Structure 1
Amino acid sequence: MISGADEYDIDITFDEAEIDRLLAVTPGDVESANSLTYAKNVFIPLTTACRYTCTYCTYFDPPGEASLLSPEEVREIVRMGFDAGCTEALFTFGDDPDGRYTQVHDQLAEWGHDSIHSYLREVCELALEEGLLPHSNPGDQTPEQMELVADVNASMGVMLETTADVAAHAGPRQKNPGQRLATIRTAGELGVPFTTGLLVGIGEDWRDRAESLLAIRKLHERYGHIQEIIVQNVVPNERSQFEQPSVETMRRVVSMARAALPEEISVQVPPNLSPTRELLDCGVDDLGGVSPVTDDYINPDYAWPALRELEDIAEEAGVPLRERLPVYRRFLDDDSDDETWLSDRIRRAIDSGGETGERYQSVLTESIPR
């Protein structure tokens, strides 16, 4: 059962036969991918403020301590990423931070913005000017918030995590799975290529995992907008009391994901958090965004692997490793008069000439449609 479904008008139901089929899936029921992909990005933590206080998260800072990057700081990071050969500017921040943090709200007002999404639009435009494609993860969003920034993003995302009501989300600022699914639905309605995923080991059970995967699939069947899902294990940190799931658990969850989802949706595991080599035969085909110049600010104790390590992983699996853009190639190839996934602004950036356009086209030449 989806927690918060009624509140957000989420009309997703599950067939018990579908649940049983996924619960029976093992690694032997899926095939290894014939290639692996990754994106080269620069990680930009726009603010460490968040209205939620999830017990497994080290990203947020309490009111009075949260930072907010200035446009000048963002530009410096973006330029550093471009110089390092990146194609993606990954913008992250906590959910509706300006609604809880007075200092963040006041700083945004001083810079001429009435919301964090208005500011996000400015820095996405800045990233495009400097030659990187924005991919934003701003958490839960209303249709109005997402519409404000959709045309300056190549893709967007939010982790579903789980459809279950878990203690890890408890408290006065409880994260609501129904609201997460509503955000994913909004992306479909607006035609935004989207990334979502599961967080494994925060108190959900096996049925919850199956239902979460099926909820994602059902939304994709309606809109066709999910480009990848991330299967991420929780990791120990200074705030977390959760144990990292076993390799056996992760192998089963990844296999369930591959079995639950259509072939065009990639299954990603983060190589800095997961036992990646032991999951490749479970249907993994993407290693996510890897930054050559910035930390994983959401999981600061777990460094990004170097590109050489990704090459070693692929070589050990006996498959090619290909770079991709933050928007999967099928969303570029599928554009037609009836359905256009990318805004004119993003399309012009990808098709532009000069060093920037040549970089994008070089990646597209190497990537595979999915």
Structure 2
Amino acid sequence: MIPGAAEYDIDIAIDPADVERLLDVTPDDVGPAPALTFCRNVFVPLTTACRYTCTYCTYYDVPGQASLLTPEEVRDVCQRGADAGCTEALFTFGDDPDDRYTEVHEQLAEWGHDSIHEYLREACEIALEEGLLPHSNPGDQTREQMAHVADLNASMGVMLETTAAVQAHGGPRAKSPGQRLNTIRTAGELGVPFTTGILVGIGETWRDRAESLLAIRALHERHDHVQEVIVQPVANNERWRGDTPDVATLRRAVAMARVALPESVSVQVPPNLAPVREVLDCGVDDLGGVSPVTDDHINPDYAWPALRELEDVAEEAGVPLHERLPVYERFVGQGERDEVGGGRDTSSAWLSSRLRDELAAETSTGERYRSVLGG
């Protein structure tokens, strides 16, 4: 039983035979993808407050030290991203700040917001005004929270990380795999194109990795909403005292993901955190969001590669490299979706009318979006 599954009414039945098949997968069972994609983005760390204290994470700051970007700072980052040709504003923050973060809550109230999601909505509006498509990754979300911001997001995401109970999540505010799966399910129910993934090396077993991938697949099969799955090795940093997965482990994990998931779901390996050249033949077809403007604020010790380096990676692999939007093309070209309470009903298209208007606008921004889609 997945920890927390009963609490969140997660009714995923993982077939033991499917697990055994994945455990037998090796890199020899897969091959290189015919092309590689990436997205040009800016990283907007809306707040570093987080109710969790995962032992591998350097992103969160303790109460009294957590930052909260001002609207002016959000706009400045988005402007610089737009000027650099980016299409995505990646909004990240720790899961809902709890009552310990009094200064964060007081600042939000001073700006007229009663929650971090209220402020996220304002930040998404700023990004759209500056010509960027928001992609928000605000951790676990309730249906109400996600619905409140979904119509302003081209896509959203949260890392499942693992379905196992691991010590790296330990403590009184430990992450719940059931809650993570509930967030992924909620995205499907609301019709939100979604990114998720597994974190390799935080104490999970190979069986845990197989079960995590199969849980993601099960939710995708119900809702057809997962656009990519990240296979991310835990990275050495000032808080992580464990090991970093070796290349052989990463190759096997990537191959397992490629076999577990349908072809329509991309397998991504972040190029600043993993030796992508050594795993491309294992089925990787996406290199994720890469910023020419901002740091990876979740992994600040690991710089983004330059576009020239990505081109070299693709050239070495003998495949073309294409830029993409934060929402995959298969979610873009459908009829308009009805909007319900700030979210989206699942009866028609994936993108809200607001976002469809942004993509269709006869402006330099709209032209850039169309050039990326056509390229």
What is the 5 A alignment of 1:19-34?
19-34=19-34
Q: Partners of 1:267 and 1:156 in 2: how far apart?
A: 16
Is the contact between residue 336 and residue 353 of structure 2 (CA under 8 Å) also seen in structure 1?
no
Say whether 1:322 aligns with 2:331. no
Write the letter of the residue equivalent to 1:164: A
Q: Identity across aligned pairs (percent)? A: 74
Q: Partners of 2:245 and 2:307 in 1: how far apart?
A: 26
Q: Partners of 1:328 and 1:208 in 2: how far apart?
A: 28
What is the 5 A alignment of 1:1-370?
1-97=1-97, 99-335=99-335, 338-366=347-375
Cα deviation 1:58-87 (Å, max 9, x = unaligned): 000100000100000000000000000000
Write the letter of the residue equivalent to 1:53: T
Give the structure-2-normalised TM-score.
0.96
Is the contact between residue 49 and residue 66 of structure 1 (CA under 8 Å) also seen in structure 2?
yes
SS at match of 2:332: helix
- 1:14 Cα deviation (Å)? 1.1
- 1:98 Cα deviation (Å)? 5.3
Cα deviation 1:199-223 (Å, max 9, x = unaligned): 0000000000000000000000000
How much is the aligned-residue C-alpha RMSD, in angstroms?
Answer: 0.9
Q: Partners of 1:142 and 1:52 in 2: how far apart?
A: 16
Is the contact between residue 191 and residue 225 of structure 1 (CA under 8 Å) also seen in structure 2?
yes
- 1:3 Cα deviation (Å)? 1.2
Tell me the residue number matched to 2:342: none
- 1:100 Cα deviation (Å)? 3.4
- 1:339 Cα deviation (Å)? 2.1
Number of matched pairs: 366
Write the letter of the residue equivalent to 2:36: L
Q: Partners of 2:311 and 2:98 in 1: how far apart?
A: 41
Distance 1:353 1:100, change over 3 A: farther
Write the letter of the residue equivalent to 1:24: D
- 1:353 Cα deviation (Å)? 1.1
Is the contact between residue 98 and residue 104 of structure 1 (CA under 8 Å) also seen in structure 2?
no
Is the contact between residue 336 and residue 351 of structure 2 (CA under 8 Å) also seen in structure 1?
no
Write the letter of the residue equivalent to 2:172: P
Is the contact between residue 235 and residue 242 of structure 1 (CA under 8 Å) also seen in structure 2?
no
Q: Partners of 2:320 and 2:23 in 1: how far apart?
A: 31
Q: Structure 1: where are the runs of 5+ without partners?
A: none
Write the letter of the residue equivalent to 1:175: K
Q: Partners of 2:348 and 2:252 in 1: how far apart?
A: 36
Q: Partners of 1:14 and 1:114 in 2: how far apart?
A: 40
Q: Partners of 2:162 and 2:83 in 1: how far apart?
A: 37
Distance 1:25 1:334, change over 3 A: farther
Tell me the residue number matched to 2:344: none
Write the letter of the residue equivalent to 1:321: L
SS at match of 1:192: coil
- 1:335 Cα deviation (Å)? 3.9
Give the structure-1-normalised TM-score.
0.98
Write the letter of the residue equivalent to 2:310: L
Cα deviation 1:283-308 (Å, max 9, x = unaligned): 00000000001000000000000000
Is the contact between residue 42 and residue 294 of structure 1 (CA under 8 Å) also seen in structure 2?
yes
Write the letter of the residue equivalent to 2:246: S
Q: Which of structure 1's runs of 4+ aligned residues deviate more than 6 A?
A: none
Q: Partners of 1:53 and 1:298 in 2: how far apart?
A: 14
Tell me the residue number matched to 2:343: none
Q: Partners of 1:5 and 1:94 in 2: how far apart?
A: 22
Q: Partners of 2:124 and 2:25 in 1: how far apart?
A: 41
Q: Partners of 1:277 and 1:122 in 2: how far apart?
A: 39
Write the letter of the residue equivalent to 2:221: E
